[in-house]
Structure 1
């Protein structure tokens, strides 16, 4: 049972009583928390009924009676940390200031269950694209009514693409949900959340600007959980189990810093897929005005424009009529200022002219409206983070703040008096995630974004990495870059990859792109460059649970990159009710480590998950090297550290029984002694007592080969 808090020691986590370094190997619990009971995103019936005020999140992501099964499984797999997902909508869905205390009680009970299985947590107030009603998750539906949006009209006006309202939910395009970040609904909400006082000064509700109103309600909702955890008493949940709090998941700048509303941002990592309006085109469509927009698709070198399409909302607006807005106002009880007129907020603030159908201030969101100075989103984000941290630490005084700025961006520099931080960036192998295939080539996205490969179309060729060895090195280098940026700009604090994972629903269609850079073209190009053939994945065994499967190779490449940089991490994700047909039941994603198989087995029992992990280290970690078992190669593991002078406490290594049987695994140490201190059916704990030294020492394990009989 956990009996001491997690603390910080420069770039490391550690236990203050034993002085041991703690390497956190974790998982997000859970993507399933995003959804209310009975409303996965592929279901239309019941969506947006009575502003979705009466939804219920109690039991999401798992029923309490199932917690022992799932949390026990995570412990057996060697995880020791959870990114514990909570949802603003789940807390405050009924209306402003109306909290669901049954949901909060459920959270507390689930946290106690986590404690039983020694799974420390940090709380993540999760969102994607603002809310479920914008095609993501997070904020309650009333926030959209407050701003004057009508989610029923988002589809026809291209204000958002939502699986619940998609004509054929089964054909919902892969990963298209994230394009909502650049569409009218989500972009407007985030612009108001972070910059309402600058860009929407007329939006006053209950005597405060919309920015303050939204931020205050978000923080107050999270504080309901903070207060409830604190109320449990000293050393029950606070500090010992709950190490701290994440900042808002994957924040978006909305329109802030957009140089020209008639053009796209120049961002290497921006996903463009399907209908892709500019901000100005989104304004017009949202106001019922037909216009031509671009349609894009994802190719090997990033998004590519495919064609121009004509979109006609036929007068339907994404904004509530005056009468419907008044009904919403009466329902929720807020009072708007007389200056806040119905319809498009941005037209009302003079950004564009509805009658003339033309932009008036193209750079409206890039400069300060009064001073003309350039606006920096990170400054606005930092102001919110400081308010958020202050509120939490007034109650949970020792809370660690897990900070994540916008995805793939440089982290901002933090004030010197801002203490107890952990840098929590996210990273995914975007090519595999979007195309749902594991290829023999990949792209160094971080290098591209940081300008490593110059400019022009040839930068993509220069950023290519070909072959498994090169891909693995590329992943390791990208994560290393992210880690060092955090050290340089956030400070000498730990780095934890808050999200990283793979799609398990990888397909075999490698030629679906309509770009001139088709799969066959890439095969020919790479074969010419490398003077050998490019390996296809179509010849592989069909089972994902073998060493050669695409899923296993993709996951192992990610975990190898994490271990190669000694990074703490929480994988995305573990979804208890993952479905063979609907995946994670959210927007077509299927990244869950778990899917129920026959006789309670895991249909996704890939070898890469089962690897030794040094959970506590008496000293300073230096390197981790893992080699997975194949039919011909035994599993191996090597851990190197510089020991400290404390000889009373062991370095503890969690070892999976499946590939490293306790009775037959070979163990070699270059210093000290070792013993088995715990043995269970699924794993055993090796305690190593290295002799104090100023030079590195190591422990090496040699296990068994892979056999199909070992699959469970």
Structure 2
């Protein structure tokens, strides 16, 4: 037991176990969405050309140290026991190679320590989305482009990256579907800047053998600097007992690894049987040509729920890079051309030399998960465990792998967790939700009732949990991200709040969506960290979480009408502040909460050899008048502590135990 009162955790099969032998369910939150951008004015709601990238500071993300008590107290009151704490490679090494931001490292370490004081387990997430801020996301430091021979100032204007700061009309504000469409940053994964950088990061030795930086291959150079930034964080928090491990890397993508040079994925085919996703259908060749200033016409895929059997269809093309801007510095050719994939001729024509260039290395057909993610997981695990041998690796694959992928690589290290992400794809992309109509973009199936939506959530999350069986014969599942936009359905809830409505009514859709997600998590008895808590969140449609108009924060200052009320500023609390079994004296079998009636049911197989009793979170939000607890089996009893929002279930004998918690009826 640590001095903070937290019991150290370890892995046993699919469970986290504490020092007392209890099986622990981690229910946490990502902290926080604005950690992707510098403090205080680095959000995408501010215009920027990124010229000050070396001077950027992330001290103050997710909040200044002086505010930590307020935010940690609120998250504890909402029942969370775990934080996926965000940092970025850029935050640590933005000034230049191995020029680490020591003041930021000290700040981050203090944040981890304080989290332990408030009872939170922490695992560190080196976050990225679509490579970097300069390519429309976050993550890697800008100076890496210089090392590769790319002028970052040309990425957006050439069409090689889709960047809010380049496209958005800040004087106009609000949503701008004509200039910067909702959630369009996701499509950067297919654009050339991401294709180039991710391919070099994971497979530079295979596909760019001639590109060296400071005497080493580009892949080795990039990886060693990423691991070096990770080590700088690790060294400062190695002795904190509440820090349980590191995420491998948020939502890694394969770049062009495994793709045909000329293939455009417009729908299921013999080349690629997977369904296509909305957005530009780039081939790697399209991307390479555009990167050299060649104008290309690219197919655009769109949602069409009436189209059968595939609701994603090709309806138009888009002209990319009409100004013929090259992103390569003077005299620089791309490393794949140098390696013999293709040739750009002096007259602007081109030759495809190896259509399978990104698909084969010698006689070997490449497999991204086995050939590249497996060795990457091994390197990250080795890196962090040189600092603390007990740390858990929270392993993430490509975000689509949970829906489409076969499983984790054979080389996944011991003491690893399946930390994949899951979202309701259509809700996430469209910012629309109705319990009476929900489209599954991967199958075309339409749900017309909340029960059907929940069943789909259970199937999808169950498939992800099933992937954990491929991690060393069985490992815990922790859904590292899931959640909803709070500006759903045209941000009607914000308008109602601004007009004075403080009831739950404007948030009904949000509450139902979250309730269905947590119901599925309960059914499957899996761990999770919801995306996200942003201390600086604003109800302004240009701002949200401060990054690309995402707005998934469960808290907003704009809704904090009473700073003395710990719940003030919370959004749709009834959807996610709910009872769950934090630690079980035995093996959990079933867990279910009915939000409408307030009835919580938990069944477990008791193991009296576990040194401490079962603990259940009992939130006042769900039980404002108190509750009644029934325990049957094992000669069990329950002690309720509503001040600490928990019930302790003490059981004397082995066997099945059933716990039911009900709201106390209202009495006049």
Matched with 1:290 is 295
Instruction: Provide the secondary structure at the position in 2 that maps to 1:656.
Output: coil
Partner of 1:433: 428
Paired residues of 2:608 and 2:651 also in contact (CA < 8 A): no
Equivalence for 2:452:
470
Q: What are structure 1's unaligned runs of at least 5 residues?
A: 323-341, 449-458, 511-540, 707-712
Contact 1:544 1:550 (C-alpha < 8 Å) held by counterparts: no
Residue of 526, 534, 541 corresponding to 1:575: 534
Number of equivalences? 622
Cα distance, 1:287 vs. partner? 1.0
Distance 1:255 1:544, change over 3 A: farther
Match in the other structure for 2:268:
none
Deviates more, 1:207-216 or 1:466-475: 466-475
Is residue 89–residue 139 contact of structure 1 (8 Å, CA) maintained in 2?
Answer: yes
- Which whole-Å CA distance do the structure 1 matches of 2:183 and 2:303 have between them? 10
Confirm whether residue 6 of structure 1 aligns to residue 1 of structure 2.
Answer: no
Aligned residue for 2:645?
684
Q: Deviations over 1:204-261 (max 9, x none)?
A: 111110000000000011001111122xx4xxx0xx2111111011111100000343
Are 1:586 and 2:547 an aligned pair?
yes
The answer on whether the counterparts of 1:412 and 1:490 sit within 8 Å (CA) in structure 2 is no
Partners of 1:248 and 1:411 in 2: CA distance: 19
**Correspondent of 2:32 among 27, 30, 33:** 30
Cα shift readout 1:508-565 (whole Å, capped 9, x = no counterpart): 599xxxxxxxxxxxxxxxxxxxxxxxxxxxxxx9878349711111111111111110
Question: What secondary structure sits across from 1:226 in the alignment?
Answer: helix
Is the CA contact (8 Å cut-off) linking 1:26 and 1:79 kept in structure 2?
yes
Which of 582, 585, 589 lines up with 1:618 in the alignment? Answer: 585
What SS is found at the alignment partner of 1:572? strand
How far residue 383 of structure 1 moved from its aligned partner, in angstroms, is 1.1
Instruction: Give 3-state SS (helix, strand or coil) of 1:422's partner.
Output: strand
Instruction: Give the superposition deviation at 1:490.
Output: 4.5
Q: Does 1:320 align with 2:329?
A: yes
Does structure 1 conserve the Cα–Cα contact (< 8 Å) formed by 2:87 and 2:125?
Answer: yes
| Cα distance change, pair 214–150 in 1 and its aligned pair in 2 (3 A) | same
- Does the C-alpha gap of structure 1 residues 218 and 548 become closer, same or farther in structure 2, counting only changes over 3 Å? closer
- What is the TM-score of this pair, normalised by structure 1? 0.83
The answer on whether the counterparts of 1:647 and 1:689 sit within 8 Å (CA) in structure 2 is no
Q: What is the correspondence of 1:448-597 to structure 2 with a 5 Å cutoff?
A: 448=442, 460=444, 463-508=445-490, 545-546=504-505, 549-581=508-540, 582-596=543-557, 597=559
Aligned-residue CA RMSD in angstroms?
2.3
Query: Structure 2 CA distance, aligned partners of 1:467 and 1:270?
Result: 26
Deviation at 1:414? 4.8
Asked if 1 retains the 8 angstrom alpha-carbon contact of 2:537 and 2:553, the reply is: yes
- 1:677: Cα distance to partner? 5.5
Q: Is the aligned partner of 1:653 residue 2:646?
A: no
CA distance in 2, matches of 1:492, 1:659: 34
| Cα distance, 1:346 vs structure 2 | 2.8
Q: Which residue of structure 2 lines up, in the alignment, with residue 354 of structure 1?
A: 344
Query: What is the 5 A alignment of 1:226-305?
Result: 226-230=234-238, 233=239, 237=240, 240-264=241-265, 266=272, 268=274, 271-273=277-279, 275-300=280-305, 302-305=311-314
Moved more, 500-509 or 83-92: 500-509
Match of 2:365 among 363, 374, 378: 374
1:603 deviates by 5.0
SS at match of 1:699: strand
Contact 2:486/2:510 (8 A) holds in 1: yes
- 8 A Cα contact 2:574 2:621, kept in partner: no
Name the residue aligned to 1:224.
232
Please list the CA deviations of residues 346-389 of structure 1 after superposition, one character each: whole Å capped at 9, or x if unmatched.
Answer: 33333222222343322210111xx2321111121211221221
- 2:396 corresponds in structure 1 to 404
1:41 aligns with 2:44: yes
Which residue is 1:699 aligned to? 659
| Cα offset, 1:685, TM superposition | 1.3
CA-CA distance at 1:421 after TM superposition: 1.2
Task: Specify the alignment match of 1:535 in structure 2.
Answer: none
Which SS does the other structure have where 2:355 is aligned?
Answer: coil
What is the TM-score of this pair, normalised by structure 2? 0.89
Other structure's SS at 1:599 match:
coil
In 2: Cα distance, 1:389 partner to 1:655 partner: 36
1:426 and 1:508 map into 2 onto residues whose CA distance is: 25
CA drift at 1:700: 0.8
Distance, in Å, in 2 between the alignment partners of 1:366 and 1:544 is 55
Are the equivalent residues in 1 in contact too, given 2:604–2:658 (CA < 8 A)? yes
Change (3 A) 1:3 1:312: closer
Question: 1:336 maps to which residue?
Answer: none
* Residues in 2 aligned to 1:106 and 1:376: alpha-carbon distance in whole angstroms: 40
For residues 271-291 of structure 1, the C-alpha deviation after alignment (integer angstroms, 9 at most, x for no partner) is: 432x44322122222111112
Residue 689 of structure 1, CA deviation: 1.1
Tell me which residue corresponds to 1:519: none
- Alpha-carbon contact 1:652-1:688 (below 8 Å) kept: yes
Contact 2:112 2:237 in 1 (8 A): no
State the shift of 1:187 in Å.
Answer: 1.2
Q: Secondary structure at the match of 1:83?
A: strand
Matched, 1:639 2:630: no
Separation of aligned partners in 2, 1:193 and 1:383: 12
Per the TM alignment, residue 269 of structure 1 is displaced from its structure 2 partner at its CA by: 6.3
Q: CA deviation at 1:411?
A: 5.5
The answer on whether the counterparts of 1:295 and 1:305 sit within 8 Å (CA) in structure 2 is yes
The separation in 1 between residues aligned to 2:55 and 2:103, in whole angstroms, is 13
- Please say if 1:215 is aligned against 2:223: yes
Aligned mates of 1:71, 1:552 — CA distance in 2: 23
